[in-house]
Amino acid sequence: MSEKQKVLVTGFDRFGYRQRPNRSSEIALPAIKNRYSDLVETLVLPTARNIAAERLIEAIDDINPAAVVMFGISAGGKVRLEQQAKNRRFNILFPDNEGVRAVGRIRPEGPVNIAATLPLDDIYNRLQAAGVPTKLSNDAGAFVCNEVMYRALHHTSESNASPVLPTGFIHLGNGLSNQLVEEAGLMVVDELLRLNGSVK
């Protein structure tokens, strides 16, 4: 990784008619930016499938990051390391923040699944060793999180860059304490920076 390359870290804004807090952007990202200000670029994405994906892809092209890690929130009390994104949309009852409901494939001619390229085994071992409840997941859902992950991976895979840009999505469970959310976010980014030689 060159000195100019940074890790791109994203979270989502509040969503739904109740504007529920989103700890990916309100807890994890500020902690990451505060500790690693010179080594990361943080970006809050709108919980709107098309806008979020477009902004993320623009940021990837503009920043030319060393890695891309997307954070979102989910039900449950664990950190979920998403191993793949699926080429599907299925949110009839719950529109995104732009009022969009969608069903069907994200890309009609795209692959059914695209594997994450983050070093998930290393991240998993790091979190487990620190006592953070963590699991590997094969289902990032069918809402905005999965779509943004799919479109980001599709975009980076099309670049034919070597080595492949480490890219992936991590869900932070709503059952986790704010402290664990913060610690998990910091450890994930720290692990990526260590693997790329930015920190020791």
Please tell me which residue in 145, 154, 183, 191 is annotated as part of the active site.
Answer: 145
The token pair at 19 is 């504007």
- Write down the residue that tokens 């991590």 correspond to: 170
Between CA 157 and CA 84 the distance in angstroms is 13
Please tell me which residue in 147, 154, 171, 191 is annotated as part of the active site.
Answer: 171
> Is 158 an active-site residue?
no
Count of CA atoms in the C-beta half-sphere (13 A) of 40: 28
Please tell me which residue in 41, 54, 58, 82 is annotated as part of the active site.
Answer: 82
> Is 154 an active-site residue?
no
- Give, for 42, the enclosing helix (H) or strand (E): strand 40-45
Residue 82, classed as helix, strand or coil, is strand
> Is 145 an active-site residue?
yes
Just list the catalytic residues. Answer: 82, 145, 171
